[in-house]
A and B are shown apart, each in its own frame.
Chain A
Amino acid sequence: QQQVKQSPQSLIVQKGGISIINCAYENTAFDYFPWYQQFPGKGPALLIAIRPDVSEKKEGRFTISFNKSAKQFSLHIMDSQPGDSATYFCAAVPSGGGADGLTFGKGTHLIIQP
């Protein structure tokens, strides 16, 4: 059972464009939603995270938009750069969740074309 559904599987964006990756969840107990960035040959690294008490969180060119009623959240990368080319994973954790509660999406392979 896939608790966090991520789309698209792959995405190609021109340099300077906006990259958008979407995730949806079913478990209403989730209350922490991190995004991870993974470069080839490296492990995932925490990029940005949000809690459902806010609808948006921005850090530099990266923004998470959160829609609690729709149970959806998305990552927006503004002014996308070739260095942003990586695999991005959304994840979700239930309230009071321990380490076993970190549920990952399947990942999106993002390519930024120069």
Chain B
Amino acid sequence: DAGVIQSPRHEVTEMGQEVTLRCKPISGHNSLFWYRQTMMRGLELLIYFNNNVPIDDSGMPEDRFSAKMPNASFSTLKIQPSEPRDSAVYFCASSRGLAVGLRDNEQFFGPGTRLTVL
């Protein structure tokens, strides 16, 4: 299995531009997560899906952020308009189920997208 695939790996954009990050979860995994990692705040859960349905988006910082999962093999995280403070590494992770700590529900992380907003 190729693992969780994210694209692009690096994105540099200017303030005000729209940014779209993409994720392909591991085949057979029913849950998908979007995280943001910064030096100041560490790893933060932004939103997660189960069976393509958004379950909790309380971690999304602002209305400028939106996420979709149109099918079991693809998800996007969009920032519109982007701001310099959005600069971070964004990770997508997937798991078989939602209950962390149960056997077979380990979250597998992708390599991340490093976003720089100038």
The number of residue pairs between A and B whose CB atoms lie closer than 8 Å in the complex comes to 65
Q: How many residues of A contact B (CB 8 A)?
A: 24
If A99-B33, A105-B42 touch, whether A44 touches B109 (CB-CB below 8 Å) is yes
Q: Does A32 contact B (CB under 8 A)?
A: yes
> Are the CB atoms of B99 and A97 closer together than 8 Å?
yes
Of all chain A residues, the one with the shortest Cβ separation from B31 is A99
Contacts of B100 in A (CB 8 A): 32, 34, 93, 97-99, 101-102
Residue of A31, A42, A98, A101 with most chain B CB atoms under a 10 A cut-off: A98
Give Cα A49 to B103, complex, Å.
11
> Are the CB atoms of A97 and B93 closer together than 8 Å?
no
> Are the CB atoms of B42 and A99 closer together than 8 Å?
no
> Are the CB atoms of B93 and A32 closer together than 8 Å?
no
Interchain CB contact (< 8 A) of B98 among A43, A89, A98: A98
Q: Does A100 contact B (CB under 8 A)?
A: yes
Q: Does A45 contact B (CB under 8 A)?
A: yes
Of all chain B residues, the one with the shortest Cβ separation from A104 is B43
Give Cα A101 to B101, complex, Å.
11
Give Cα A81 to B56, complex, Å.
40
Contacts of A76 in B (CB 8 A): none
Contacts of A60 in B (CB 8 A): none
Q: Does A106 contact B (CB under 8 A)?
A: yes
Give Cα A32 to B107, complex, Å.
14
Per-residue B-contact encoding for A41-63, CB less than 8 Å = 1, 0 else: 11111100101000000000000
Sorted nearest first, the 5 A-B pairs with minimum C-beta distance are: A43-B109, A32-B101, A104-B43, A106-B42, A98-B98
- Additional pairs, 17, CB under 8 Å, beyond known A32-B101, A41-B111, A100-B58: A31-B101, A34-B100, A43-B93, A43-B109, A49-B101, A89-B42, A89-B43, A93-B100, A97-B100, A99-B33, A99-B56, A100-B55, A101-B100, A104-B43, A105-B42, A107-B42, A107-B43
